[in-house]
Amino acid sequence: MAIDPTGPLTTPAAAGTQTTNQSASLGKDDFLKLMVAQMANMDPMSQSSGDPSQSMQQMTQFSILEQLTNLNTAQTALSTNEKQSQAIALLGKTVDYTAADGSAASGAVQQVDFDSQGAIKLTIDGVTGVSPAQIAGVR
């Protein structure tokens, strides 16, 4: 059976049947498993097993990928913390904001709430659910 590296991923589901997962993608763990399997099956005495420097390049690329992923995760967490700190700093301040009906409004920030997805909602003079993006100014 020929394998098409650009085709969809197929996996055997049951005896004699196959399922196709169009949205499947390989992550860094999958890449590492494939690389280790490739290295384990290399014959160092054979010229056909490939250039050792190519394996070193793959390991370097994997290391770079992993560090970029870690950096992105840390940057996302830092950004979330900064947004939360800025929202908390609004407590007690008078703000001008755009109300749900599109009119201009103002009032004092009484409460800051964070939901499980990281969304921030403010309570301004008893009006709940105001997004920080709706704020036009702070006095």
What pLDDT is stored for residue 11 in this prediction?
Answer: 47
Residue type, 132: P
75 within some domain: yes
Per-residue pLDDT, 19: 46
Contact 118, 124 (CB under 8 A): no
For position 131, what pLDDT does the model report? 95
What the block records as the tokens of 9 is 């991923």
**Coil, helix or strand for 23?**
coil
pLDDT of residue 85: 95
User: Residue 62: its pLDDT value, please?
Assistant: 81
Q: Is 39 contained in some domain?
A: no
DSSP 27: -
- 122: exposed, middle or buried (Cβ count in 10 Å: 0-12, 13-18, 19+): buried
| Residue 44 belongs to some domain of the structure | no
Structural domain contains residue 7: no
Q: How far apart are the first and last CA of the chain?
A: 71
The structure's pTM equals: 0.58
> Is residue 11 in a domain?
no
Task: Give me the CATH number covering residue 65.
Answer: 2.30.30
Per-residue model confidence as pLDDT tens for the chain (139 residues): 445 444 454 444 444 444 444 455 667 777 778 777 877 777 766 665 566 677 778 778 888 988 999 999 999 999 999 999 999 999 999 999 999 999 999 999 999 999 888 899 999 999 999 999 999 999 9
pLDDT at residue number 15: 46
Task: Please indicate, yes or no, if residue 15 is contained in any of the structural domains.
Answer: no
Name the domain count of the chain.
1
Q: Note down the domain range covering 132.
A: 51-139
Residue with tokens 């004699």: 16
Residue 30 covered by a domain: no
